[in-house]
């Protein structure tokens, strides 16, 4: 197993929309690149959901609005 520093990657791979996916596609298999892309998308969606729930809790605390009403 070899580790290559990110700074030594070609600029077109570092500047891609999803750099990890582009690097995996260039140096490994396409299925690994797809898995990395899906993992990135799922983690972003998870963060959005968690932030949405956290804002509902903040609205409950600051405004006294029930959590269900704040999230609706």
**Positive or negative: CA dihedral 39, 40, 42, 43:** positive
Query: For residue 7, what pLDDT is reported?
Result: 86
Q: State the DSSP code for 19.
A: H
Spatial separation of the C-alpha atoms in residues 8 and 58, rounded to whole Å: 43
Exposure of 15 in the CB half-sphere (CA atoms within 13 A)? 3
Q: Please report, in tens digits, the pLDDT of each residue of the chain (72 residues total).
A: 678 888 888 999 999 999 999 999 999 999 999 999 999 999 999 999 999 888 888 888 888 877 777 666
Per DSSP, helices labelled H in 1-72 are 11-14, 19-27, 30-63, 67-71
């Amino acid at each position: 197993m070899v580790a290559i520093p990110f700074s030594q990657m070609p600029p077109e791979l570092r500047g891609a929309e999803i750099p990890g996916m582009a690097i995996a596609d260039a140096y490994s298999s396409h299925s690994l690149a797809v898995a990395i892309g899906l993992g990135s998308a799922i983690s972003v969606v998870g963060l959005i959901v968690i932030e949405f729930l956290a804002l509902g809790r903040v609205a409950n605390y600051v405004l006294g609005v029930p959590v269900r009403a704040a999230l609706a």
